[in-house]
Amino acid sequence: MTTWTDALRAPSSDRAWTAQAMRRTLAVAWMVCLSACQTNPPAPTARLDALPLDQAVAVATDSLAAQTQKLPAFLARIESLTKRTLLLDPSLDAATGQQTALTHRFDQLVADRLRARHTQFDVLPFRRTSVARAQMLLVGSITRHEADRQVFQLHLALLDLKSGVVVAQASSRARDAGFDTTPTPYYRDTPVLLLKDHVVEGYLRTTQAAPGQPADAAYLQRVSAVATIQEATGAYDAARYQEALGLYRDAARDPAGEQMRALNGVYLTNWKLGHTAEAEQAFGQLVALGLANRALGVKFLFNPNSTEFWSDPKISGPYNLWLRQIARQAAVGQVCMDVIGHTSRTGSEAYNDRLSEQRAAAIQRRLEQEAPALAGRMKPSGVGYRQNLVGTGTDDASDALDRRVEFRITGC
């Protein structure tokens, strides 16, 4: 049997034939590998003891890179010695769909590890101009472990952009050492829960997909638009609102850019720039998309122990706009909705159940005032803190999503 060492030592006249034969062999091996992975997914990575974050990232990143060394595309580097171009789509908190200070730290550690220890990859910036050049795409998520709230679960998945297949997946666990889970500015300011967007859901599913499985189509088909949205979000986080608005508009005009993150960006940047009419129009489009997806969560903040909105107008200033557009879009769509109140984990369960229902009823009354046609189409209820997404009970920006009001479409 000819080995790679034999091939490299062969006379030049034989070497071309041998290389061709080996490429054909590798292609067959690649298809066999994918077929085997699809029919018999490998067992999940063995659970590890929780490690410091940098060590946990090293374990997951090194495992991911080690898996790629067995793939034909990487074995062929012996012949070509070329690097595989790779994009890293910034990771998300899997419980909230947000980017946070912790997910940014995770991304930086992964990128640094790849550049320092795994030089078979050429890590490109995640921009729309880089998508066409890239061969591989890396996605990641991080979230608190269900059984131990002091542990975070880390997931990484590597996709082949040409085939759309997950070629490697790795996980590890990190022990919470005072991690900063505060949302980044864009996600802190967003008025709606972005977790239910089909592109975000697809991204998160892909981070845990087994090797050999296809990446989520709703996400993968929109990678170019996602890259534009991420560029815009970087500009927003840096307070370059005019630049961010242009990029968000570019993304929203693309058929693949009809995503809650793009419409949310158009709303946020217009509001920051004082373009009130444009902001309201964008929020209406955002609400319509959420209702079309049959679920919309909105971050209405109330004064403590009250059904009155937060007293600081910097926070509650746009609430009348939000209510007006929610009422208008629901009336136009002739939908029926459950209006569900949520609270953070502070106080007794019984108290929070009552308070969350009272807040949902207050929102219902406000919507009926805006659109009387909605009378009889809404049912208020409260779930207290039983459906918390963050669950820390800190009552600050990091767990604002736990104090949301949700609108779920029901049959009339």
Give the residue among 271, 278, 321, 322 at the shortest CA–CA distance from 296.
322
Place of tokens 């998300």: 92
- Same fold: 46-186 with 294-412: no
* CATH number assigned to the domain with residue range 294-412, chosen from the 4 options 2.60.40.1840, 3.30.1330.60, 3.40.50.720, 3.40.50.360: 3.30.1330.60
Domain boundaries, the chain: 1-40, 46-186, 294-412
Which positions of the chain have pLDDT values less than 50? 1-48, 75-80
Distance CA(286)–CA(297), nearest Å, equals: 11
The confidence score (pLDDT) of residue 166 equals 97
DSSP annotation of 302:
B
Amino acid type, 75: L
The confidence score (pLDDT) of residue 303 equals 86
The confidence score (pLDDT) of residue 12 equals 38
What pTM was computed for the model?
0.84
The confidence score (pLDDT) of residue 390 equals 86
Give the tens place of pLDDT for each residue, 220-231: 999 999 999 999
Reduced to 3 states (helix: H, G, I; strand: E, B; else coil), residue 197 is: coil
286 to 43, 62, 282: CA distances (angstroms): 40, 40, 6
Q: What would the two tokens of residue 295 be?
A: 């679920």
Residues 6 or more apart whose CB falls under 8 angstroms from that of 80 comprise none
Give the residue among 134, 149, 23 at the shortest CA–CA distance from 79.
23
**CATH code given to domain 46-186:** 3.40.50
